[in-house]
Amino acid sequence: MFGGPSYRQSLFTKLTLGLTLVPIVVFSVIMFWAGLRTQNTLHQELVYQINDEMAALAEIYVGSGVKAVSAGIDQRLTLTPLTRAGAHYSFIARGGETLAGDLGPLPDGASDITKTVTLADERFGPLLMRSTIFSGGEVLNVARETAAQRRALSGSLRDYFIGVAAILGLSLILIVITVRRLRRRLSTMNSIFARVGDGDIDARLSTLGQADELSVLAEHINAMIARTGRLLTLRKRVTDQVAHEMRSPLTRLDASLFRIENNAGPNEEIDQARDELKHCINLLDGLLDISSLDAQQGDKRGFETIDFSQLVEAIADLFDPVAEDENKPLQLSIDRDVHVFGSSSQLGRLLSNLFDNALKYAFDETAISISLKREGEFAVLRVSNRGAPISAEAARDIFTPFFRNPDMSAKKGYGLGLALSRSIANRHDGFLELEPTPQRILFKLTLPIV
């Protein structure tokens, strides 16, 4: 009756995306902040190394002179630093002669005695460098490679992607499993509501093995359905009792009016009164018939194997003269030897109601289509006509007793025929439904084949 939402419209899809994206966003912010901290820490560490190295060489210069500084630089170039941040030097005399070091000529303005600067070297790559000038005019440049810093940052970036993939994978697995369970449970609830809407007041939700909010909701739903069932049963008993108690006096009243009319002669007012009485009696008969059928659900006494194909043709033959008079011919398409297990009188009444409705509500000079097909293990009867469309609101209530389509209020009827027909179909383990089709009204009866 009601279709579930698509995955794009589902609240659970939005919940899944939200719960997946939130940890990724949080993790990304944390990793971005950690990356900045790591970059600043590594940069500051290189600055400390450069400053310490420069202070040590300046101390050598003050204590031992230029040659000692040159020797110290040569010695340092033979060592591999533990941090793998390669050390490079340039010691230049006042006249521009290179005294020691492995750095080539530096671009103009590359040296800065106030702060560390970054420059690109063809041999060593990006360098962080600082300069100082000794008292004799010599210039000392101390540099460190930043490759280690880049490797650390790329490692952090790799860890970030690994972390994101792990969070995304675990989140999706856990959330999808949880959401699927929730969707299944809610789908079960929706199916129970649909069954109750179709008249199955004994349908209940299972609450075994669960102890969460949905279980509490299921208990409330079961209690609501049970209370609704009790109210419907009570109403039905009252209705049946009233119908039963009223039918006998109304019948006696009709008989009395008939005797009066026979003695006094024809009387228009008496005829009208008898017509109204017959209308009431027929209405009460319909209520009692529905009540009787509902009470017989599951009771197969009196059932026999019936050639449903022949029954459909026989009922159609009865309606054929009326259909020809109203210029609404019956078009039959019937599979042969379709047998069902049931009551021929009740199924005949069901067919009569369907054919009568089809003729009553069809447009003038349009055909009535009657199709009986064997589909798998079921006999499927379709009765359709071209008529005024039935609104969605009316389609939901069309099998309810006393319901009359507001758009068809001019047509005579009690609003019991389709309710009675569905009760007959249910007693035969079948189902009667209204199928929405463009520009046609189609009733579909499904019965199990013997």
Q: Which fold is adopted by the domain 213-295? A: Helix Hairpins (1.10.287)
pLDDT at 250: 67
The runs of H, that is alpha helices, within 198-267 are 213-264
Q: Is the pLDDT of residue 197 over 50?
A: yes
Burial of 129 (0-12, 13-18, 19+ CB in 10 A): buried
Alpha-carbon span 111 to 121, nearest angstrom: 13
Q: What is the pTM of this model?
A: 0.47
In the structure encoding, which two tokens stand for residue 429, read together? 């383990």
CA distances from 306 to 341, 445, 447, 449 (A): 6, 16, 12, 10
Integer Cα distance of 379 and 336 in angstroms: 11
Residue 120 to residue 124: CA distance in whole angstroms: 8
Q: In this predicted structure, what is the pLDDT of residue 150?
A: 73
Q: For residue 440, with 0-12 CB atoms within 10 Å meaning exposed, 13-18 middle and 19 or more buried, which class applies? A: middle
- Would you tell me how many other CB atoms lie within 10 Å of the CB of residue 383? 23
Give me the CATH topology for the region 13-152: Beta-Lactamase (3.30.450)
Number of H helices and number of E strands within the chain? Answer: 9, 12
Q: Where are the chain's structural domains?
A: 13-152, 213-295, 304-448
State pLDDT tens for residues 292-344: 656 555 667 778 999 999 999 999 998 898 889 889 999 999 999 999 998 88
Mean predicted lDDT score pLDDT of the chain: 79
Question: Using CB atoms within 10 A of its CB, is residue 215 exposed (0-12), middle (13-18) or buried (19+)?
Answer: middle
Q: 1.10.3720.10, 3.40.50.1100, 3.30.565.10, 3.40.50.1820: which CATH number matches 304-448? A: 3.30.565.10
What integer is the mean pLDDT of 17-22? 74
Average confidence (pLDDT) over 158-174: 77
Distance CA 339, CA 347 (A): 12
Contacts of 393 (CB under 8 A, 6+ apart): none
**137 near 104, Cβ under 8 Å?**
no
pLDDT greater than 80 at residue 257: no
